[in-house]
Amino acid sequence: MINVSNLSVRLGGRPVLHGVSLEARPGALTAIVGPNGCGKTTTLKAISGELAPAGGTIRINGRDLRGLKPWELASMRGVLPQSTVISFPFTVREVVRLGLAAGANADAALHDRIAAEALEAVDLGGFAGRFYQELSGGEQQRVQLARVLCQISEPVTDGEPRYLLLDEPVSSLDIRHQLGIMQLARNFCERGGGVVAVMHDLNLTAMFADHMVMMKAGKVRASGAPAEVLTDETMEAVFGCRMRVGVAPPAPVPFVLPQTASL
Amino acid sequence: MPRSEALGRGMRLTGLAADIRSEWRAGNRARLARLVVVALAAVAIATFVGSIMTGAADASLANVWRWLIGEADQALSIRDRIIILDIRLPRAVLGMLVGASLAVSGVVMQGLFRNPLADPGLVGVSSGASLGAVLLIVLGTATFGPLFALFGFYALPVAAFFGGLVTTLLLYRIATRGGQTSIATLLLAGIALGALTGAVTGVLVFMADDKQLRDLTFWGLGSLAGANWTKILASAPIILLSLAVTPFLARGLNAITLGEAAAFHMGIPVQRLKNVAIVSVAAATGASVAVSGGIGFVGIVVPHLLRLVIGPDHRYLLPASALLGGTLLILADMIARTIVSPAELPIGIVTAFIGAPFFLWILLRGRSNMGL
Ligand SMILES: Nc1ncnc2c1ncn2[C@@H]1O[C@H](COP(=O)(O)OP(=O)(O)OP(=O)(O)O)[C@@H](O)[C@H]1O
Ligand SMILES: [Mg+2]
């Protein structure tokens, strides 16, 4: 369980989060949604341990974040940042393998298998030898996800759940890969792990999330099951635009919902 | 590739070279890299021995060997013995040490700043180190008496180390914000620091006496000509120690390619990595500058060449750079002492002649990859 209570964060001397509290259970996909600049990434960074909070506490599996060393954290959660640029010409295989811990008893064959499986999982089977810098944006995003999957290859170890913290994991993916990656996250949850994902696509969120946290201006405005959170009222209050939940547009306008996909 | 085909291509293609070619074709950079490290080690040893054999006095390998194993005491004349033991050997050892240290400092600095142009020579760390050394030479025992008393002949490398350390920390503070380094700021700060160092050195030149002046000229150009066992004793422990920690930085430097935040996510203690990297760069650069002055371009050319062949994985890049850096510096020194013989060029001139055009070529080829 990830437990965030009364979290506040200041960035550049300005308060960005004001008393955010949320819970992410193992076995559940928790989605954080909200307008640009409302503090989703900041919340995720605080949970990852990358940002020191100005106030409040964060616990992972009951342990206070402040007492954990970087390598302990790395064994409990993997983090997919909103974007990643790399500075040297690594190949896809090399980037993905960075996620594997360099234990003294590193088993080369096992590592090769985990890396290959991770690439397969994000549908980049034939890409191992390509240069990362020569991939498209969506392909790069999937390589980074494969790297995270290498780091957290098992949803549960030693009886303790592990977590994926994903910042807009599908933002630059086509619809088929959006569905594929969200399904991957779901499977991770079903096998006992926990996922916290920052999302912008509300349809995908409604389709895959077990728990939704809706933020506005550094505060949590609503949280609960998607059906409770996604209402006409919250949409207007949080995003400032009046729209109707669950209403199809009038006939001549085509619309495509991910829910109708069969893969 | 079958062995016979490899041999058919000429005597130079030994089995190792053939293996390297086939791994290159297969695109397997990890195995390729390991083979390249082995090959470079062999080349380094050959170059080292070759440089001891080369020069005005003629000492054949067979004779040196016979003398070394005590088989024939008369195999070498006393004069040859002195030339080999007290002149060429220290020079080759120093060349190897300094070359390795310059190349590895380049790799570590480039990894830390996440840019292939970040070289201690280019961004002013060497200037800072030589400023430390120059201050010590000119202000000398009067001001730094306690330092001499405390460190003996380590005083000069230690002064250069502090010069380099202060500069590196300053550069880091100036060029890196929130885990992101601006290479433009880094290079410009390097220019400013270089100018400042030059100005201070200029002032010191006015204060210097004749002997100090000769020493100062030496810093400007860089040379292995003064190599002796005392200098090796003064610099080798510092250089070897800072080289010895770098393998422990390799995984961290790999991870930090994805940014400081991503490295932290992968379990790297980023702050500690940066501290160790900065201190080791400052120590290696300081010790090198103290014994051989400012020798440019090794730290940028060597890692760049190797990245083209074996890729940017620091686990292989670090040892390969150490070996190639040492080899190239010994070769440059051989050029320096033979090309205008019996006189001798400062080695810094040779490395600049080779390195500067190469550097321009790097810029021509891949400006977009340099973050410029
Ligand atoms: N380094 C920083 N210094 C100062 N303010 C910052 C910094 N990073 C972010 N902010 C501010 O903090 C607020 C929250 O930013 P955050 O990145 O968490 O937004 P977000 O919800 O992830 O937005 P998006 O949907 O655009 O990704 C924004 O107003 C942003 O301008
Ligand atoms: Mg964001």
Classify residue A258 as exposed, middle or buried by CB count within 10 Å of its CB (0-12, 13-18, 19+).
Answer: middle
Three-class secondary structure of residue A17 per DSSP: strand
pLDDT of residue B149 exceeding 70? no
Residue B245's alpha-carbon distances to A136, A155, B302, in angstroms, are 37, 35, 20
d(CA A117, CA A132) in angstroms, rounded, equals 18
Q: Which of B262, B267, B312 sits opposite A71 (nearest CB)?
A: B267
Q: What is the largest CA-CA distance in chain B?
A: 69
- If you measure from the C-alpha of residue B221 to the centroid of ligand 2, how many angstroms do you get, rounded to a whole number? 51
Radius of gyration of chain A (CA): 19
Could B311 and A48 be called an inter-chain contact, meaning their C-beta atoms sit closer than 8 Å?
Answer: no
Identify the pLDDT of residue A165: 98
Environment of ion ligand 2 (residues, CB < 5 A):
A 41
Identify the pLDDT of residue B1: 40
pLDDT digits (tens, 9 = 90+) for B275-330: 899 899 989 998 998 888 878 889 999 999 999 889 999 999 999 999 999 999 99
d(CA B80, CA A8) in angstroms, rounded, equals 75
Q: Which residues of B touch A73 (CB under 8 A)?
A: 265, 267
Identify the pLDDT of residue B72: 64
Predicted TM-score (pTM) of this structure = 0.88
Q: Which residue of B has its CA nearest to A149?
A: B266
Task: Give residue B44's pLDDT band: very low, low, confident or very high (50, 70, 90).
Answer: very high
pLDDT of residue B76 exceeding 90? no
Q: Of residues A51 and B148, which shows the higher confidence score?
A: A51
Could B29 and A91 be called an inter-chain contact, meaning their C-beta atoms sit closer than 8 Å?
Answer: yes
Atom of ligand 1 nearest to the CA of A44: 18
Residues in contact with B4: Cβ distance below 8 Å, sequence separation at least 6, in sequence order: none
- If you measure from the C-alpha of residue A219 to the centroid of ligand 2, how many angstroms do you get, rounded to a whole number? 15
- Indicate which residue's Cα is closest to atom 25 of ligand 1: A36
Identify the pLDDT of residue B26: 64
**Is B219 within 8 Å of B293 (Cβ atoms)?**
yes
Residue B293's alpha-carbon distances to B40, B285, B355, in angstroms, are 26, 10, 16
Tell whether B116 is within 8 A of chain A (Cβ).
Answer: yes
CA distance B163 to chain A (A): 28
pLDDT of residue A69 exceeding 80? yes
Q: Of residues B316 and B176, which shows the higher confidence score?
A: B316
Could B257 and A87 be called an inter-chain contact, meaning their C-beta atoms sit closer than 8 Å?
Answer: yes
Q: What is the mean pLDDT of residues B7-11?
A: 43
Identify the pLDDT of residue B349: 86
pLDDT of residue A106 exceeding 70? no
pLDDT of residue B8 exceeding 90? no
Could B312 and A45 be called an inter-chain contact, meaning their C-beta atoms sit closer than 8 Å?
Answer: no
The least confident of A160-174, A186-200, B174-188 is: B174-188
Identify the pLDDT of residue B5: 45
d(CA B184, CA B78) in angstroms, rounded, equals 56
Q: What is the mean pLDDT of residues B162-188?
A: 81
pLDDT of residue B150 exceeding 60? yes
Atom of ligand 1 nearest to the CA of A82: 27
- Indicate which residue's Cα is closest to atom 6 of ligand 1: A11
Q: Which H/E stretch holds residue A21?
A: strand A14-24
The least confident of A124-128, B83-87, B274-278, B350-354 is: B83-87
pLDDT of residue A82 exceeding 70? yes
Task: Kindly provide the ipTM of the predicted complex, given to two decimals.
Answer: 0.93
Task: Give residue B138's pLDDT band: very low, low, confident or very high (50, 70, 90).
Answer: confident
Q: Which of A50, A98, A133 sits opposite B258 (nearest CB)?
A: A98
Residue A34 dihedral angles phi and psi, to the nearest 5° = 155, 170
Could A71 and B255 be called an inter-chain contact, meaning their C-beta atoms sit closer than 8 Å?
Answer: no
Tell whether A78 is within 8 A of chain B (Cβ).
Answer: yes
The least confident of A72-76, A86-90, B179-183, B327-331 is: B179-183
Identify the pLDDT of residue B75: 64
Could B268 and A101 be called an inter-chain contact, meaning their C-beta atoms sit closer than 8 Å?
Answer: no
Identify the pLDDT of residue B222: 75
Pick from B151, B117, B141: which is nearest to B286 by CA? B151
Task: Give residue A33's pLDDT band: very low, low, confident or very high (50, 70, 90).
Answer: very high
Q: Which of B24, B107, B180, B266 to mutate to test the interface with A (most CBs of A within 10 A)?
A: B266
Q: What is the mean pLDDT of residues A67-83?
A: 93
pLDDT of residue A147 exceeding 90? yes
Identify the pLDDT of residue A43: 97
Task: Give residue B158's pLDDT band: very low, low, confident or very high (50, 70, 90).
Answer: confident
Q: What is the mean pLDDT of residues A94-102?
A: 85
Q: CA-CA-CA-CA torsion for B318, B324, B327, B332, nearest 10 degrees?
A: -120
Q: Of residues B23 and B2, which shows the higher confidence score?
A: B23
The least confident of A209-218, A245-254, B255-264 is: A245-254
Structure tokens at B106: 């380049």
Share the mean pLDDT of chain B: 82
Q: What is the mean pLDDT of residues B98-103?
A: 96
What does the DSSP 8-state code read for residue B210? Answer: H
pLDDT digits (tens, 9 = 90+) for A189-247: 999 999 999 999 999 999 999 999 999 999 999 999 999 999 999 999 999 988 888 88
Give me the percent of chain B exceeding a pLDDT of 90.
31
**Is A67 within 8 Å of A22 (Cβ atoms)?**
no
Q: Which residue of B has its CA nearest to A77?
A: B265
Task: Give residue B194's pLDDT band: very low, low, confident or very high (50, 70, 90).
Answer: confident
Identify the pLDDT of residue A174: 94
CA distance B28 to chain A (A): 8
Tell whether A70 is within 8 A of chain B (Cβ).
Answer: yes
Identify the pLDDT of residue A79: 97
Could B251 and A102 be called an inter-chain contact, meaning their C-beta atoms sit closer than 8 Å?
Answer: yes
Residues in contact with B166: Cβ distance below 8 Å, sequence separation at least 6, in sequence order: B128
Identify the pLDDT of residue B2: 46
Q: What is the mean pLDDT of residues B181-197?
A: 81
Q: Where are the alpha helices (DSSP H) in B54-124?
A: 61-68, 78-82, 89-113
CB count in 10 Å sphere of residue A247: 8
Q: Where are the alpha helices (DSSP H) in chain A?
A: 40-48, 70-76, 92-98, 108-121, 137-151, 175-190, 202-208, 226-229, 232-234
Residue type for A139, please? E
Ligand 1 first shell, C-beta below 6 A? A 11-12, 14, 16, 34, 36-42
Q: Which H/E stretch holds residue B236?
A: helix B229-256
